[in-house]
């Protein structure tokens, strides 16, 4: 099952940057006790990597990791890979590529051809049988030792488990509820407690099952993997359960009762803000060190294994000078390029620009390396002036997580700066009408090599700049738009400055509905009166005098807006002719994190 792409989100740039920084991916108080390291995707002995997305994972023995690939698909399989350890026993990587271990499909029905496969649950039962959960057919599969296909399935729907799982695990020896089976439902956020009886061959039957609702009004959890920790783990004062929440990108923990079930009132966040290109899936405990391993469900290289160590993170020192260690970039020929690497910190570039230039800044990742939490091309670019005022932020493009700031109109001649970071490295700001960059927290979660480029073009004589305001507050513009003919060159809403989630937009004239629409962008400008002319320039000339309602279908946003033409730097105000969007494609908006489309 594919997980669908997330949609546009409306977020204020200022509000986002004002969020307090957090240490890596861990929530307090665990951020003082734990650190992480990405191992990235796992290579395969037949070439390439284990097929994404990844499902559950578990240890076959002390040095062999089992992990699901092609999760949620009938072709799903378990792969085995040997781990390498340092002198303290901690895993540092893999000894070689993974190899096929067993098939883990779901169960086909007469009405469902694409019946799914392994999801977030993979474990070794006390009898030695491999057990796994399947999505979306809601079954529990069992594989006998030494075989490569399921020997038995249990239809969980028939037992009252609401479709569909989800994850599973047995409570380990020595913890409350030892030997009981736990199951999660992805779709309903319910948790199930079961008892089992074993057959002579080691397979098992579920003899009783009860439901505990973990549903909350605050969010859709999307429950997946399950595992348990005791009080030897820092920050845990009682035996506790860990649960992956794919939909919220969190791993949460609850203290458990005498049966190993979560005590709802004790919930805490353990991990927050998983990579936007994937979400937490399976949870395993290293039998040698007790370290926690998480599988990440994502596409291609976004599928990875993350090691969680009960060790304090390496101390970081904030970078309190956004103008130090600057690399000059010369784009006098029209384009300038510099290469760099960035992990937890940042790289800064300077360049001289002239008023009225249209600049595009781009980060092209040339190599993705394991970071402390991410293994993807998730970079962030900040553009600011010599006063430190943030002018634009680029995080995603329409096709990926590479950063690009597209078509920034230079307001005044002078020296400008661009900082490149990985996701998670929060800026240090002095908040105001224009936020001033004071530095970075130096807590980036990725690790990248990249090419940074600047290109410039001069605006044509027909280009026009408009401020945009809500009709209820006309003296307080919420952004501006730069257009040329029927092309929207850039959008700036509340300082978000076109982050190129859609690319340049083409304006379309809908005379039947008296509206302007845009390619690649679900946004409508509804005019109260019919167009006097079908000429696009005539329509744009009427922006300042028309009654216009901005609409995001079906009714996510409906507001009357106003346009006010402004001077383009270095030019006088031209004869009216412009357009666009009140709504920005918010800077942190459409992420490429994957979600199962059938689950929404």
My answer on whether omega of the bond before 53 falls inside 30° of 0, hence cis, is yes
- Residue 246 is encoded by which pair of tokens? 């794919």
pLDDT, tens digit (0-9, with 9 covering 90-100), for 310-333: 999 888 889 999 998 999 999 999
DSSP H or E segment with residue 17: helix 13-17
Q: Does position 13 have pLDDT exceeding 60, yes or no?
A: no
Q: How confident is the model at residue 575 (pLDDT cuts 50, 70, 90)?
A: very low
Which numeric CATH code is attached to 327-458? 2.60.120.380
pLDDT, tens digit (0-9, with 9 covering 90-100), for 492-524: 776 555 445 456 789 999 999 999 998 877 889
- Residue 343 is encoded by which pair of tokens? 């992990």
**Burial class of 178 by CB neighbour count within 10 A (0 to 12, 13 to 18, 19+):** middle
**pLDDT above 70 as % of the chain:** 88
CATH: 2.60.120, 2.30.29, 2.115.10, 2.20.70. Which one for 35-309?
A: 2.115.10
Residue 362's nearest CA partner among 322, 407, 330, 317 is 407
pLDDT, tens digit (0-9, with 9 covering 90-100), for 176-224: 999 999 999 999 999 999 999 999 999 999 999 999 999 999 999 999 9
DSSP H or E segment with residue 597: none
Question: What CA dihedral angle connects 128, 134, 139 and 144, to 10 degrees?
Answer: -20
**Distance, CA of 148 to CA of 7 (rounded, Å):** 40
Task: For strands 190-198 and 204-213, give the pairing.
Answer: antiparallel
pLDDT, tens digit (0-9, with 9 covering 90-100), for 543-564: 999 999 999 888 778 999 999 9
What's the angle, vertex CA 584, arms to CA 583 and CA 590, rounded to 5? 120
Instruction: Kindly report the three-state secondary structure assignment for every residue of 410-462.
Output: CCCCEEEEEEEEECCCCEEEECCCCCEEEEECCCCCCCEEEEEEEEEEECCCC
Residue range(s) in the chain whose domain bears CATH number 2.115.10 = 35-309
Contact 230, 175 (CB under 8 A): yes
My answer on whether omega of the bond before 36 falls inside 30° of 0, hence cis, is no
Contact 586, 9 (CB under 8 A): yes
Residue range(s) in the chain whose domain bears CATH number 2.60.120.380 = 327-458
């Amino acid at each position: 099952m594919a997980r669908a792409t997330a949609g546009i989100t409306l977020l204020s740039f200022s509000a986002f940057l004002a969020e307090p920084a957090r240490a890596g991916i861990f929530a307090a108080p665990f951020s003082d006790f734990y650190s992480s390291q990405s191992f990235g995707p796992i290579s395969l002995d037949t070439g390439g990597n284990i097929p994404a997305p990844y499902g559950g994972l578990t240890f076959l023995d002390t040095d062999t990791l089992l992990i699901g690939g092609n999760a949620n698909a009938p072709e799903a399989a378990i792969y085995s890979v040997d781990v390498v350890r340092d002198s303290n026993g901690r895993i540092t990587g893999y000894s070689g590529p993974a190899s096929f271990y067993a098939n883990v499909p779901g169960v086909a029905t007469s009405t469902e051809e694409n019946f799914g496969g392994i999801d977030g649950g993979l474990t070794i039962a006390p009898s030695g049988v491999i057990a796994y959960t399947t999505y979306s057919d809601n079954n529990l599969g069992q594989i006998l030792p030494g075989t490569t296909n399921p020997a038995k399935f249990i239809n969980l729907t028939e037992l009252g488990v609401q479709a569909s799982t989800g994850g599973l695990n047995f409570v380990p020896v020595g913890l409350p509820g030892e030997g009981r089976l736990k199951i999660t439902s992805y779709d309903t956020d319910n948790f199930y407690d079961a008892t089992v009886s074993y057959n002579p061959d080691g397979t098992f039957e579920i003899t009783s099952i009860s439901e505990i609702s973990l549903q909350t009004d605050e969010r859709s959890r999307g429950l997946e993997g399950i595992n348990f920790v005791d009080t030897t783990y820092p920050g845990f004062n009682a035996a506790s359960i860990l649960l992956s929440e794919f939909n919220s990108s969190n791993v949460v923990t609850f203290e458990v009762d005498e049966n190993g079930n979560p005590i709802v009132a004790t919930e805490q966040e353990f991990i927050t803000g998983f990579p936007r290109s994937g979400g937490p899936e399976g949870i395993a405990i290293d039998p040698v060190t007790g370290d926690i391993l998480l599988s990440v469900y994502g596409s291609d290289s976004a599928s990875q294994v993350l090691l969680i160590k009960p060790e304090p993170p390496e101390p970081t020192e904030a970078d309190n000078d956004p103008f130090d260690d600057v690399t000059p970039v010369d784009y006098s020929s029209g384009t300038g390029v510099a290469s760099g690497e960035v992990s937890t910190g940042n790289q800064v570039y300077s360049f001289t620009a002239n008023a009225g230039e249209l600049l595009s800044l781009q980060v092209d990742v040339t190599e993705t390396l394991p970071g402390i939490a991410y293994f993807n091309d998730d970079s962030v670019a900040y553009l600011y002036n010599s006063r430190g005022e943030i002018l634009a932020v680029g995080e995603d493009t329409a096709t990926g997580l590479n950063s690009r700031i597209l078509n920034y109109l230079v307001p005044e001649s002078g020296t400008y700066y661009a900082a490149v970071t990985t996701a998670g490295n929060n800026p240090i700001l002095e908040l105001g009408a224009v936020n001033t960059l004071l530095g970075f927290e130096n807590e980036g979660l990725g690790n990248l090599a990249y090419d940074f480029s600047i290109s410039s073009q001069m605006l044509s004589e027909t280009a026009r700049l408009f401020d945009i305001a809500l009709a209820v507050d006309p003296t307080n513009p919420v952004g501006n738009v730069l257009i040329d003919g029927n092309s929207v060159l850039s959008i700036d809403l509340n300082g978000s400055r076109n982050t190129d989630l859609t690319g340049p937009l083409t304006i379309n004239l809908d005379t039947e509905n008296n509206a302007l629409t845009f390619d690649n962008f679900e946004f409508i400008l509804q005019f109260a009166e019919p167009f006097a002319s079908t000429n696009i320039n005539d329509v744009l000339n009427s922006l300042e005098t028309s009654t216009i309602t901005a609409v995001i279908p079906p009714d996510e946003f409906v507001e009357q807006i106003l346009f006010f033409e402004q001077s383009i730097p270095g030019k006088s105000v031209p004869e009216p002719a412009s357009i666009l969007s009140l709504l920005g494609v918010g800077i942190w908006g459409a992420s490429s994190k994957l979600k199962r489309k059938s689950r929404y």
